[in-house]
């Protein structure tokens, strides 16, 4: 049986759009993108908090096949990134491939099509030969279960669920958390609120962005000579790779990064006690390093207080920490996401009836090259397990994966109708054993707590080496490590060709 579409992509965020663009540019027409919201954009559509921007420079944080010569700043803000994504959709006529407000809730493998039957929340079904999940690792907000939270009379919300109708002007506000989102929110809120209390559990390592406006002359040059823009992108990429050496075991670079960050902290934060509180005690890079030009300086303001006491509870009036009440009108939770082990919001059921999430509950999230999973044929994950980076752009990772996915698809196309590929279990196991071994000696195994680790302490999110290595690993599809399964007559009898 033939599937409705050759490729079905779930999610119209950066990864899903990158996949759609790649398919389109290679001349494919039989593909569909399912998007639960009414617009594309994923994380850049949902995160609208003040100060929201990317901490990867825009010439690098953009798609290889859709470079943009017109970025207004080196580090574009959320509205501009979202506009860029919409522009990619419009210029490449991708909208006609996207089914908006189609929330896929189950994907069940069906042997007779060698692919997947997807069902949306309204009960409609679609069949696809190759399923590509671009659902993103950071879309499940984490709000800690603080005692008394329900009794709090003020407003509160998570950074990714920003209430744009709430006016912070002149209010007493708290931000809980000092991660990547919070350090952008804190400098943006501080000038407008009466008082800002920042609750910090662990200080972050903060390095500068050196953000600046890009000039008309630069735009013109990049437009006229796209190679120059490409060179800029490469320069940013390789400099980030160089710094990444400091995370994967090259100590001198790690030490220099540490000294530069500490020096900047000393220069920028005037009060020695606050400076002390902001000084991390773990190795730089172990938790995601943060990049900001204005975060530290915010703590010199009279109306900003840094609290490092543990939060006891919420009351009607505010937050009690170490027995002291901090009266508040509003609280912003910059407390991150549930990321490790990829908590997919759709059920993925393989040919043997296995549920992918249940499988991962036992083993921790695992895939082969972060992309395919044994027992779940004709499925490719974008930004799957161990494809995150602590030093460079994840767009580079998803584009590397797409090289692999395109090779996979090409191979599928040469197989008889209904045939499918399933990565061999022992190959996946060996890949993951080797991957976990590679964490040894990196900053990520230096003993800090972070969202990179799952409950069992296993790092299921990061790639433990430089991203250039991952690009090489995913450059070509490797059919030899897959079982090829094809239908024979009588129907539903599988012959397995090893």
Among 86, 181, 207, 484, binds ligand NAP (CB under 6 A): 181
- The tokens for 142 are 């984490």
Q: Is 341 in the site for ligand NAP (CB under 6 A)?
A: no
| Token couple for 267 | 């220069």
Q: What are phi and psi of 318, to 5 degrees?
A: 170, -145
Q: Say whether residue 288 binds ligand NAP (CB under 6 A).
A: yes
Identity of the residue, 114 or 177, whose beta carbon is nearer to ligand NAP in the bound complex = 177
- Distance of closest approach, residue 336 Cβ to ligand NAP, in angstroms: 3
- Rounded to whole angstroms, the Cα distance separating 435 from 429 reads 10
Does 451 bind ligand NAP (CB under 6 A)? Our answer is yes
Residue 454 is a binding residue for ligand NAP (CB under 6 A): no
Q: What separation in angstroms does the CA of 56 have from each of 105, 273, 395, 478?
A: 32, 31, 10, 31
Q: Closest residue (Cβ) to ligand NAP?
A: 179
Name the 3-class secondary structure at 327: strand
335 lines the binding site for ligand NAP (CB under 6 A): yes
Q: Residue 110's closest CA among 291, 350, 421?
A: 350
Q: Which stretch binds ligand NAP (CB under 6 A): 95-103, 230-238, 299-307, 328-336?
A: 328-336
Rank residues 404 and 451 by Cβ distance to ligand NAP and give the closer one: 451
How far is the CA of 225 from the CAs of 11, 44, 58, 75, 222, in angstroms?
33, 29, 17, 21, 5
Strand-strand pairing, 5-10 and 125-133: parallel
Q: Which is nearer to ligand NAP, 296 or 337 (CB)?
A: 337
CA-to-CA separations, 283 to 257, 430, 464, in angstroms, rounded: 10, 29, 16
Of 10-18, 20-28, 174-182, 408-416, which segment contacts ligand NAP by CB under 6 A?
174-182
Task: Measure Cα distances from 472 to 58, 199, 380, 398 in Å.
Answer: 23, 42, 18, 13
Cα(336)–Cα(42) distance, rounded to whole angstroms? 16
Show the site string, 201-240: x = touches ligand NAP by CB under 6 A, - = not: xx--------------------------------------
Q: Judged by CB under 6 A, does residue 334 bind ligand NAP?
A: yes
CB-CB contact of 388 with 452 (8 Å): yes
Task: Tell me how far, at minimum, the Cβ of 178 lies from ligand NAP, in Å.
Answer: 4
Q: The tokens of 294 are what?
A: 């204005």
By the rule CB under 6 A, 180 interacts with ligand NAP: yes
Which residues, numbered 50-109, are part of the site for ligand NAP (CB under 6 A)? Answer: 54-56
In sequence order, what are the beta bridge partners of 305?
197
Residue whose tokens read 């900053």: 443
Nearest to ligand NAP of 98, 185 (CB atom): 185
Residue 278 within binding range of ligand NAP, rule CB under 6 A: no
Q: Does 453 bind ligand NAP (CB under 6 A)?
A: no
Among 21, 32, 118, 138, binds ligand NAP (CB under 6 A): 138
Q: Which is nearer to ligand NAP, 141 or 407 (CB)?
A: 141
Please say which residue, 159 or 298, places its beta carbon nearer to ligand NAP.
159
Instruction: Rule CB under 6 A: say whether 386 interacts with ligand NAP.
Output: no
337 binds ligand NAP (CB under 6 A): yes
Q: How deeply is 473 buried, as exposed, middle or buried, from its count of CB atoms within 10 A (0-12, 13-18, 19+)? A: middle
Examine residue 140 and tell whether it contacts ligand NAP (CB under 6 A): no
Q: Is 307 in the site for ligand NAP (CB under 6 A)?
A: no
Q: Is 178 in the site for ligand NAP (CB under 6 A)?
A: yes
Q: Which is nearer to ligand NAP, 107 or 206 (CB)?
A: 206
Q: Quick check: 392 binds ligand NAP (CB under 6 A)?
A: no
Burial letters for 446-460: b for 16+ Cβ neighbours within 10 Å, e otherwise?
A: eebebbbbbeeebbb
d(CA 411, CA 434): 26
**Closest approach of Cβ 140 to ligand NAP, in Å?**
11
Do 214 and 74 form a contact (C-beta atoms < 8 A)? yes
Binding-site ranges for ligand NAP (CB under 6 A): 54-56, 138, 144, 159, 176-182, 201-202, 287-288, 334-337, 451
């Amino acid at each position: 049986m033939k599937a409705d579409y050759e490729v079905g992509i779930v999610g119209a965020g950066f990864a899903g759009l990158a996949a759609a663009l790649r398919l389109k540019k290679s001349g494919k027409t039989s593909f569909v993108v399912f998007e639960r919201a009414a617009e594309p954009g994923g994380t850049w559509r949902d995160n609208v908090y003040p100060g929201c921007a990317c901490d990867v420079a825009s010439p690098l944080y953009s798609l290889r096949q859709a470079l943009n010569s017109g970025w207004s700043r080196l580090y574009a803000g959320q509205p501009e990134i979202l506009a860029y994504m919409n522009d990619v959709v419009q210029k490449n006529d991708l909208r006609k491939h996207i089914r908006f407000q189609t929330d896929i809730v189950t994907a069940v493998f069906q042997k007779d099509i060698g692919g997947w039957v997807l069902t949306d929340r309204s009960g409609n079904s679609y069949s696809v030969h190759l399923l590509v999940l671009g659902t993103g690792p950071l879309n499940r907000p984490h709000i800690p279960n603080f005692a008394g939270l329900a009794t709090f009379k003020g407003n509160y919300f998570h950074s990714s669920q920003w209430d744009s109708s709430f006016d912070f002007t002149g209010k007493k506000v708290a931000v809980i958390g000092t991660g990547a989102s919070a350090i952008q929110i804190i400098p943006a809120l501080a000038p407008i609120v009466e008082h800002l209390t920042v609750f910090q559990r662990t200080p972050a390592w903060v390095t500068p962005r050196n953000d600046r406006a890009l000039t008309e002359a630069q735009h013109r040059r990049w437009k006229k000579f796209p190679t120059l823009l490409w060179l800029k992108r490469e320069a940013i990429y390789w400099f980030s790779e160089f710094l990444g050496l400091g995370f994967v075991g090259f100590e001198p670079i790690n030490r220099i990064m540490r000294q530069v960050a500490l020096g900047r902290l000393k220069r920028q934060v005037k009060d020695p006690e606050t400076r002390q509180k902001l000084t991390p005690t773990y190795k730089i890079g172990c938790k995601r390093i943060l990049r900001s030009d204005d975060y530290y300086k915010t703590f010199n303001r009279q109306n900003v207080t840094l609290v490092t006491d543990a939060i006891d509870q919420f009351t009607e009036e505010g937050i009690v920490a170490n027995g002291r009440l901090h009266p508040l009108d509003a609280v912003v939770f910059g407390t991150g996401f549930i990321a490790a082990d990829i908590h997919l919001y759709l059920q993925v059921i393989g040919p043997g009836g296995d549920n992918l999430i249940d499988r991962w509950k036992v083993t921790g999230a695992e895939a082969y090259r972060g992309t395919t999973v044994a027992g779940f044929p004709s499925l490719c994950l974008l930004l799957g397990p161990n494809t995150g980076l602590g030093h460079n752009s994840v767009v580079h990772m998803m584009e590397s994966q797409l090289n692999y996915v395109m090779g996979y698809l090409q191979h599928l196309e040469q197989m008889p109708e209904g045939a499918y590929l399933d990565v061999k279990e022992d190959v996946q196991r060996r890949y993951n054993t080797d991957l976990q071994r590679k964490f040894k000696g990196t900053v990520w195994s230096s003993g800090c707590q972070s969202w990179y680790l799952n409950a069992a302490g296993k790092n299921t999110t990061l790639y433990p080496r430089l991203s250039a290595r991952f690009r090489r690993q995913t450059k070509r599809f490797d059919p030899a490590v897959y079982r090829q399964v094809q239908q024979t007559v009588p129907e539903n009898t599988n012959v397995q060709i090893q």
